[in-house]
Amino acid sequence: MNALSVKAIDFIRQPKQMLINGRWESAASGKLFPVTNPATGETIAHAAEGDKADVDKAVKAARAALESKVWAAMTPSDRGKLVWRIGDLILKYADELAELEALDNGKPVTVARSADVALAADIFHYMAGWATKLHGLTIPISISGGNFHSYTRLEPVGVVGQIIPWNFPLLMAAWKLAPALTTGCTVVLKVAEETPLSALRLGEIMLEAGLPDGVVNIITGFGETAGAALAAHPMVDKIAFTGSTDVGRLIVNAAAGNLKKVTLELGGKSPNIVLKDADLDVAIPGAANAIFFNHGQCCVAGSRLYVDHDIFDEVAEGVADIAKKIVLGSGLDPQTQMGPLVSDIQLNRVCGFLDSGFQEGAKALSGGKKREGAGYFVEPTVLVDTTPQMKVVREEIFGPVVVAMPFKDVDEKIIQQANDSIYGLAAGVWTRDVGKAHKIAHQLKAGTVWVNCYNVFDAALPFGGYKQSGWGREMGAAVLTHYTESKAITINIG
């Protein structure tokens, strides 16, 4: 394993506190929980175990900040510059952030640097521009006998509770915080208990950028306690959640108390379709990347690979050959291509899916088991001989496991099969026929469709799910509607 930098060692040495009202604070209970390096299973740090009392304090700080002069009266231009500065500072501290991410989540440090950190900076830079471009409309109305001037204003939705997962800890924080700040909201962010480090470092960065006290508060702690308290808090106006579909449902129920606005970015079981005319030199590595990127711990993972019958063996074996060559190891080792899963819980979950697949008759062309020894490693796996009713075909595995299935000719059937899921987050299509590409893309029930590519994300593109993959969209202009209220003002001008 590569040695950690002095900066990272220094950051994890002290027990980590929470950011509340511009200050770093321990949990009211005084409790701490261990933070683990998933490549070794060792405890590397401790973080404050925030609970209901801490969430309440943070929400009150966010409420006060929402109405404070320093935030509410900040000009859009100054707010935009502040959001931009956060993006700049993320790039300034990119190496350190990537190192913390690799240590805490397990992903390769090179990937953390080029994907997670780079895209996190990008969303702040993109959203910064919107601060000065959020405006209402002047609307002619048709009431007879009067003379009215009507217009709309976009106002911040208010105090936003944000709950994020562990698969892209820094990037998920960035996707959530950047639109909230550009629209003038204030935030209580509850980070995932598995991976608190990079968001806490981002908290320091935001203070360095000049963020006023209380505008962003960061709580570390568990979902059932801190997360649930945030989702139910009566002073929170909106909750934005990314995580499992089951917890998404709990969030909706918790939000019912004060009918807070809800956006959800949930699970997926994304189909990836390879047509007979596809360029296989691109499609085979593309299909491997679609499932193995981030060790399959992606809500968009291309986990159902549908391949034309005539080229099925070539594609399935091609993906399996790539899988066999992937170098597993600690994320901090520059040679590593795939790190461990995030936790022993996820390791057991993924292995449980593999067992169920084999019991139901699936065969592995590659992988199929965990790697013995320390750390939570699973071998990249290609399963064949599966049927549509199997658990491994229907449920989100959230690990490096793809089910490959042949189909005959592109007709309604393959579209039906692709759409036969409770999820609808993403989908892929590989073909040289541009007409077919458009047609299939239009028929797929998914919030994102990639043609001859996969995992292409951009801050300007809306991202979210059909069906049980979620409510609303992240990023792009689309996310701003979820962080603003539109107010219609009508004046009788006589």
Residue positions annotated with a catalytic role? 265, 299
With contacts defined by CB under 6 A, name the span among 8-16, 82-90, 188-196, 281-289 that binds ligand NAI: 188-196
**Distance, CA of 336 to CA of 245 (rounded, Å):** 31
The β-bridge partners of 216 are 187
By CB under 6 A, the residues from 289 to 308 that bind ligand NAI are 299
Sheet holding 448-451, edge to edge: 363-366, 381-384, 401-407, 304-308, 271-274, 426-430, 448-451
C-beta of 157 vs 192, nearer to ligand NAI: 192
With contacts defined by CB under 6 A, name the span among 82-90, 118-126, 239-247, 444-452 that binds ligand NAI: 239-247
Q: Which residue is nearest to ligand NAI (CB)?
A: 223
| Site for ligand NAI contains 192 (CB under 6 A) | yes
C-beta of 184 vs 424, nearer to ligand NAI: 424
Task: Name the strand (E) or helix (H) holding 115.
Answer: none
C-beta of 217 vs 484, nearer to ligand NAI: 217
Task: Name the strand (E) or helix (H) holding 162.
Answer: strand 159-163
Residue from 228, 274, 301, 307 in contact with ligand NAI (CB under 6 A)? 228
**Distance, CA of 422 to CA of 393 (rounded, Å):** 12
By CB under 6 A, the residues from 122 to 181 that bind ligand NAI are 163-167
Number of other CB atoms surrounding residue 426 within 10 Å = 28
Residue from 398, 423, 450, 466 in contact with ligand NAI (CB under 6 A)? 398
Q: b/e map of 90-111 (b: 16 or more CB within 10 Å)?
A: beebbebbbbbbbbbbbbbbbb
C-beta of 448 vs 484, nearer to ligand NAI: 448
| Site for ligand NAI contains 396 (CB under 6 A) | yes
Residue from 36, 162, 220, 242 in contact with ligand NAI (CB under 6 A)? 242
C-beta of 205 vs 231, nearer to ligand NAI: 231
Q: What is the DSSP letter of 436?
A: H
What is the per-residue DSSP string for 292-318? HGGGG--TT---EEEEEGGGHHHHHHH
| Site for ligand NAI contains 266 (CB under 6 A) | yes
Residue from 42, 67, 78, 224 in contact with ligand NAI (CB under 6 A)? 224
Minimum distance from residue 342 beta carbon to ligand NAI (Å): 8
- Residue 72 CB partners (closer than 8 Å, separation 6+): 66, 184
| Site for ligand NAI contains 472 (CB under 6 A) | no
User: Alpha carbon of 149 to those of 54, 115, 195: distances in Å?
Assistant: 46, 48, 51
Burial class (CB in 10 A: 0-12, 13-18, 19+), 434: exposed
| Site for ligand NAI contains 231 (CB under 6 A) | yes
**Distance, CA of 68 to CA of 74 (rounded, Å):** 10
C-beta of 219 vs 410, nearer to ligand NAI: 219
Minimum distance from residue 188 beta carbon to ligand NAI (Å): 12
Q: What is the DSSP letter of 301?
A: -
Minimum distance from residue 64 beta carbon to ligand NAI (Å): 24
Count of residues binding ligand NAI (CB under 6 A)?
Answer: 27
CA 486 to chain CA mean position, Å = 27
Number of other CB atoms surrounding residue 213 within 10 Å = 18
Both structure tokens of 3: 């040695």
With contacts defined by CB under 6 A, name the span among 76-84, 135-143, 147-155, 241-249 that binds ligand NAI: 241-249
By CB under 6 A, the residues from 31 to 60 that bind ligand NAI are none
CA 303 to chain CA mean position, Å = 17
Q: Which residues bind ligand NAI (CB under 6 A)?
A: 163-167, 190, 192-193, 222-224, 227-228, 231, 242-244, 247, 250-251, 265-267, 299, 349, 396, 398
